[in-house]
Structure 1
Amino acid sequence: MNTKRALPILFAVMFLVMVGFGIIIPVLPFFAEQLGATPAQLGWLMAVYSLMQFIFAPMWGGISDRIGRKPVMLIGIAGLSLSFFLFAVSTQLWMLFAARILAGFLSSANMPTTMAYVADVTTPENRGKGMGIIGAAVGLGFIFGPAIGGIFSKTSLSTPFFIAGTVSAITFLFVLFFLKESLPPEKRTVRTSGTKESRWKAFNGPTSVLYILQFFVSFSLAGLEATFAYFAFARAGIGTTNLGYIFMIMGLAGAIVQGGLVGRLTKKFGEGAVIQMGLVVSAIGFGLILLTNSFVTAAIFLTIFGLGNGVIRPSVSALITKRTEVGQGSATGLLSSFDSLGRIAGPPIGGALYSMQIGLPYISGLIVSAIAFILYRFYMRKEQKTSLPV
């Protein structure tokens, strides 16, 4: 499929997927509370989704290497749509958990398959641009989705779930009729008896460092997201409305950088330089957040962090798809798995650190960013035997 046609379609697909996903974000806690969920149960309800993604993303990525990208994407989007409708009609807490588990299981097919699709249709030098475009679509979806959910929640708490299910159903039809398969039959892998072994084959060699690096990046981001609302209120009296504006500013800045600059930067300097730059800027952002004392400083400092964090994932994805010795789907699935693991571990640890001292999540984020930087330098040393730039 022609890259110029494929990437805009993929952008639209991931934007719609994330709009649907984002719609339920501001509503889910109140909907669960309405059905009797305690704060601890709500935490498990949020975590079980990431847990399912951690377990099953590599599986779906590997399946897409065998049967093609489009069928797996359709499964993931259909599962997301079904889970939203199940949420909407849930009358008991266990039904919410069932819907959330189903969503995590099936929708874990979406991100690794989309990244593998990008790897299929882009040249190595344009890989970073393609991954950045997907990152921009995800970021914009998370900006518009929660806003839509908040507006329609005034009608009823179930309405946003019906809307999210409908948006996902429309996305399913969009993929079915407009997206062409990117992996021709002759390039597909043949299933072997060692499926479990092949799933983790991507973790062998120097590339394993990149997966660990992505875990650290995801872990530190999740810890910030879980605690920043409390921190901003404690330091600057920032309420929920202004906090929404701050995250919107951060999201827009990140989407612009991912969609417009990542490709140019990786093409000119290479993915390795962009990853290191992103880690340095993220660390600076964590440090600056400690100085927050107003809405303006919170918006500026969080945006600085977001710009650094936002360029890392597309660059890591591009580099892994260039270096992997297994199928692109297996590699990107494993990357999504490590990303999910970071989102599972980040919030509880970030919350525990915050309860000890409110600045600790951001001090630890700075330290983790520094460790990730050192990890990448270690990866570069291990890759020095090759002639390819890192």
Structure 2
Amino acid sequence: MTIFPSAWRALPRPALLGLFLFFCAGFADGAMVPFFPLWASSEANIPIGAIGLLFACYAGGELVAAPLIGGIADRVGRRPVLVLSALGVGCGFTALFFVHGVVATAIVLLLTGMCESVLHPTILTVIADVTVPSTHPRWFSLAHVSSGAGQILGPACGALLALISLSSVFLAGGVMLLLGGIVMLVALAETIGSGRGDEGADEAGEEGLSALLPAFRDGRLAKLLVWVVLFEISGNWIEAVIPLYAHDAGTLAPSGVGALFAYAAALTVGLQMLVSRFAETRSALWLTIGAGISTIAAFALLAASPAMISLVAAVSLCAVAQMLVGPLVPTAVNALAPSARRASYMAASSVAVDLKDSLGPSIGTALYALAPRLPWVAGIPLVAIASLGLGAAIGRARNPSRPSEDDATPQLGSAVENYR
């Protein structure tokens, strides 16, 4: 079954709006992330070793909020959650343009992260609500492409704005997410009842708060997410450390950093669907090992030299790694989730990403403060172990030795088999 019918209007409208919001979020992240370390070290006069702590404030807000409100879209609806979270993150990014000082910046990042905690998982939930399981891998690949398209324009726009002021990139990202929130308010219809019956709805109402912590109730999900965190932590060092590494080596100016990450996003947009078709015939373990080898090669190049050719090759290899693994993880999580708790499971998955966004920059910049090449050297064994563990965890989930407590939960094997 294909998700590319002859007319775009035949596609589910909520899913298309979800792709648009992914674009807005990708633009905001692309505009902010590459320039945040440079802004913090130059304009905010923050020590390099402490920059990761500000990143951690943003991710920390997500970590605090996710267990409390992560599954709220299963009870109050997808539409209000998406509207409020998009507007909240947009206001937070915009506020960064006006705030001054480490404490004020940390508070804004913490509140912004709390709003962001439900943004991405709820978008994925909306897409899963209105599409059939056999097409989820391709839709999640399209979500990756949409985010990548935003991450082309975000760094490109940020590179131009950085010529004026590094803080102006926050304003651009905030305005884009505010636009996304307004579009969701006007155009998005509620999808909470799509694809599940009244029995599932009753179950969601009875479960209450316990449904917010599926990772503690489903061992397969918990094991999967542990390996996701380990794999993504080191991969995050590319975004967090390269701006400092390239700037201190005199290889790239701030505008050049933006152009580099715009190139990486363009690579994702151009190749994601091609890589996804290639991946359909490969096992999950093959994909994670391939992603690990690609990331290790990138780290080896960066450890060898901060020259331009090494930077370009490294971000290219890491982009390929994300193309291989990116659509696989949400597909696996969604396949494990009962329909009545779909948003809760996606929120639990987002906690893994939040941990990556918190621990990744903190550890990466701290290692960089000790020695410029230390993040790349330390990352090689970490990626090797994590890629093997992630592939094995998905394989075990596909062939469980015993059924989970949710007998109605769709088996991961059938959904990932469609991906294969």
Indicate how the Cα distance of structure 1 residues 154 and 52 shifts in structure 2: closer, same or farther if over 3 A, else same: same
Secondary structure, counterpart of 1:311 in structure 2: helix
Opposite residue 114 of structure 2, the aligned amino acid is F
Cα drift, residue 322 of structure 1: 0.7
TM-score by length of 1: 0.85
Indicate how the Cα distance of structure 1 residues 64 and 2 shifts in structure 2: closer, same or farther if over 3 A, else same: farther
User: 1:173 aligned to 182, 192, 197, which one?
Assistant: 182
Q: Where does residue 351 of structure 2 map in the other structure?
A: 337
Q: Where does residue 20 of structure 2 map in the other structure?
A: 12
Opposite residue 226 of structure 2, the aligned amino acid is I
Secondary structure, counterpart of 2:326 in structure 1: helix
CA distance in 1, matches of 2:238, 2:165: 30
User: 1:199 aligned to 203, 208, 212, which one?
Assistant: 212
Q: Where does residue 350 of structure 1 map in the other structure?
A: 364
Q: Where does residue 84 of structure 1 map in the other structure?
A: 93
Opposite residue 225 of structure 1, the aligned amino acid is E
User: 1:124 aligned to 133, 140, 150, which one?
Assistant: 133
Cα drift, residue 120 of structure 1: 1.7
Opposite residue 52 of structure 1, the aligned amino acid is G
Secondary structure, counterpart of 2:55 in structure 1: helix
Select between 54-63 and 160-169 the one with higher mean Cα deviation.
160-169
Q: Determine if contact 2:22/2:147 at 8 Å carries over to the other structure.
A: yes
User: 1:63 aligned to 54, 67, 72, which one?
Assistant: 72
Q: Determine if contact 1:55/1:337 at 8 Å carries over to the other structure.
A: no
Indicate how the Cα distance of structure 1 residues 3 and 66 shifts in structure 2: closer, same or farther if over 3 A, else same: farther
Opposite residue 294 of structure 1, the aligned amino acid is A
CA distance in 2, matches of 1:83, 1:293: 34
Cα drift, residue 45 of structure 1: 2.9
Cα drift, residue 347 of structure 1: 2.3
Indicate how the Cα distance of structure 1 residues 134 and 60 shifts in structure 2: closer, same or farther if over 3 A, else same: farther
Opposite residue 117 of structure 1, the aligned amino acid is V
Alignment of 1:149-188 (within 5 A): 149-152=158-161, 159-184=168-193, 186=198, 188=201
Aligned-CA RMSD value: 3.3
Cα drift, residue 113 of structure 1: 0.5
Q: Where does residue 384 of structure 1 map in the other structure?
A: 399
Q: Where does residue 365 of structure 1 map in the other structure?
A: 379
Q: Where does residue 261 of structure 2 map in the other structure?
A: 247
Q: Which runs of 5+ in 2 are unaligned?
A: 1-8, 402-410
Q: Where does residue 53 of structure 2 map in the other structure?
A: 44
Q: What are the Cα deviations for residues 205-226 of structure 1, in whole angstroms up to 9, with x where unaligned?
A: 2232221121012201223333
TM-score by length of 2: 0.79
Opposite residue 380 of structure 1, the aligned amino acid is G
CA distance in 1, matches of 2:44, 2:134: 51
CA distance in 2, matches of 1:292, 1:144: 28
Select between 356-365 and 102-111 the one with higher mean Cα deviation.
356-365
Q: What are the Cα deviations for residues 101-159 of structure 1, in whole angstroms up to 9, with x where unaligned?
A: 22111122211111112222232222111112212222232332233234345556665
Q: What are the Cα deviations for residues 286-334 of structure 1, in whole angstroms up to 9, with x where unaligned?
A: 3343344632233123311221133313211111111234612111111
Secondary structure, counterpart of 1:206 in structure 2: helix
Cα drift, residue 231 of structure 1: 4.2
Indicate how the Cα distance of structure 1 residues 191 and 95 shifts in structure 2: closer, same or farther if over 3 A, else same: farther
Q: Determine if contact 1:218/1:342 at 8 Å carries over to the other structure.
A: yes
Q: Which runs of 5+ in 1 are unaligned?
A: none
Secondary structure, counterpart of 1:207 in structure 2: helix
Q: What are the Cα deviations for residues 31-87 of structure 1, in whole angstroms up to 9, with x where unaligned?
A: 897577665665433321111112223444311111221111111011122223433
Q: Where does residue 310 of structure 1 map in the other structure?
A: 323
Alignment of 1:268-347 (within 5 A): 268-269=281-282, 271=284, 273-292=286-305, 294-325=307-338, 327-347=341-361
CA distance in 1, matches of 2:48, 2:387: 35
Opposite residue 15 of structure 1, the aligned amino acid is F
Q: Where does residue 204 of structure 2 map in the other structure?
A: 190
Q: Where does residue 151 of structure 2 map in the other structure?
A: 142
Indicate how the Cα distance of structure 1 residues 37 and 364 shifts in structure 2: closer, same or farther if over 3 A, else same: closer
CA distance in 1, matches of 2:396, 2:28: 42
CA distance in 2, matches of 1:381, 1:5: 35
